[in-house]
């Protein structure tokens, strides 16, 4: 597995799947992963509206790709509003608070406010609070050049003096992160062991022109090279999903049946695996994100992760 992390060639869908497969050979997996004989195909995501009490939507690959909205997403939100169906966005993007994401969504004419957005950043915040309560003298370093630290959890930004004395690294975003940064981090970890709390377990993110390396990849490379402990707080793990369901039920004003909450995503290893393990109705949007490069039947069998529903388009 270490060989997968020796260089960073241009990332495509095939390498992304290979990395995810290796990733989950070393990280504890949420279970269960669904059942092939129960997987159902529909033409459009809107065909699922009548069978769901609410929706949790991934951002990349469902709402947008990079700077462009997914075709049909505006009409989908209009239908949610007409039917008074609650929704939240659950993203592994954790560099900045929710309010920083709102202008981008609203520029696409989407009715999304900060209260509609839950991110793995929120789950990491809870984890850091609990860690600091147990280890009040711990030294925290935030990794990434364009991340906004938590105001009430002080720490230094990667690159500041003394960062390599950290007891815990919080990896929230990989914008601007380079192989040279990674090498410096791994050197520091070899000199002083520390925990990497990874808000974003994604190994890649779909962009208009390809895929980008994300914190999940860099954290697993550090683990492969140094043996450091890696803690994941975002999808597919439970903390992020619990926050999303709590927010969705608050918007609905009532308890919702988990199996009637549609979790819509483009990734088997984060959205679908996490939804299945949390008892949600997993819905794979196939045509725009990671899975658009693969035969859905073949890849779900290979990974043994099966969505409840597969929608071709929105």
Q: Based on the fold, state whether residues 138 and 18 are members of the same structural domain.
A: yes
Q: Per-residue confidence at 68, pLDDT binned at 50, 70, 90?
A: confident
Q: Per-residue confidence at 32, pLDDT binned at 50, 70, 90?
A: low
Determine the pLDDT at residue 303. Answer: 87
pLDDT in tens, 81-138: 999 999 999 999 888 898 999 999 999 999 999 999 999 999 999 999 999 999 999 9
Q: Based on the fold, state whether residues 112 and 126 are members of the same structural domain.
A: no
Lowest mean pLDDT among 11-15, 181-185, 191-195: 11-15
Are 112 and 102 within 8 A, CB to CB? Answer: yes
Q: Domain count for the chain, please give it.
A: 2
Q: Based on the fold, state whether residues 88 and 202 are members of the same structural domain.
A: no
Q: Which domain holds residue 207?
A: 2-29+122-232
Question: Percent of the chain having pLDDT more than 90?
Answer: 61
Q: Is the peptide bond before 32 cis (omega within 30 degrees of 0)?
A: yes
Q: Based on the fold, state whether residues 265 and 228 are members of the same structural domain.
A: no
CATH number assigned to the domain comprising residue 248:
3.40.50.1000
Tell me the H-state helices in the chain.
13-26, 73-83, 102-107, 120-134, 179-191, 215-226, 238-252, 273-277, 296-303
- Look at residues 208, 232, 256 and tell me which one is the last residue of a structural domain: 232
- Look at residues 167, 197, 232 and tell me which one is the last residue of a structural domain: 232
pLDDT in tens, 38-48: 899 999 999 99
- Look at residues 196, 215, 232 and tell me which one is the last residue of a structural domain: 232
**Helix/strand/coil for 168:** strand
Q: Per-residue confidence at 2, pLDDT binned at 50, 70, 90?
A: low
Q: Which two tokens stand for residue 313?
A: 């388009």
């Amino acid at each position: 597995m270490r060989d997968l992390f020796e260089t960073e060639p241009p990332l495509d869908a095939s390498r992304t799947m290979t990395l995810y497969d290796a990733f989950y050979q070393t990280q504890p997996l949420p279970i269960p992963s669904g059942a092939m004989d129960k997987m159902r195909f529909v033409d459009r995501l809107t065909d699922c509206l009548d069978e769901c009490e609410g929706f949790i939507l991934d951002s990349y690959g469902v709402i947008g790709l990079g700077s462009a909205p997914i075709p049909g997403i505006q009409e989908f939100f209009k239908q949610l509003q007409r039917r008074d169906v609650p929704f939240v966005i659950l993203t592994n993007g954790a560099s900045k608070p929710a309010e920083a994401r709102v202008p981008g969504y609203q520029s696409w004419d989407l009715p999304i406010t900060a209260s509609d957005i839950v991110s793995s950043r929120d789950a990491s915040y809870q984890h850091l609070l609990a860690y600091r309560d147990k280890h009040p003298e711990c030294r925290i370093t935030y990794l990434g050049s364009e991340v906004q630290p938590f105001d009430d959890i002080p720490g230094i930004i990667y690159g500041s003096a003394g960062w390599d004395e950290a007891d815990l690294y919080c990896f929230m975003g990989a914008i601007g992160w380079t192989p040279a940064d990674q090498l410096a981090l791994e050197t520091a970890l070899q000199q002083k062991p520390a925990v990497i709390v990874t808000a974003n377990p994604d190994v890649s993110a779909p962009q208009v022109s390809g895929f980008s390396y994300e914190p999940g990849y860099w954290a697993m490379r550090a683990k492969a090279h140094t043996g450091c402990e890696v803690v994941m707080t975002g999808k597919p793990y439970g903390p992020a999903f619990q926050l999303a369901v709590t927010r969705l039920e608050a918007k609905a004003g009532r308890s919702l049946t988990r199996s009637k909450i549609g979790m819509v995503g483009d990734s088997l290893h984060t959205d679908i695996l996490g939804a299945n393990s949390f008892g949600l109705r997993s819905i794979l949007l196939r045509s725009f994100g990671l899975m658009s490069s693969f035969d859905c039947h073949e890849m779900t069998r290979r990974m043994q992760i099966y969505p409840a529903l597969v929608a071709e388009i929105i």
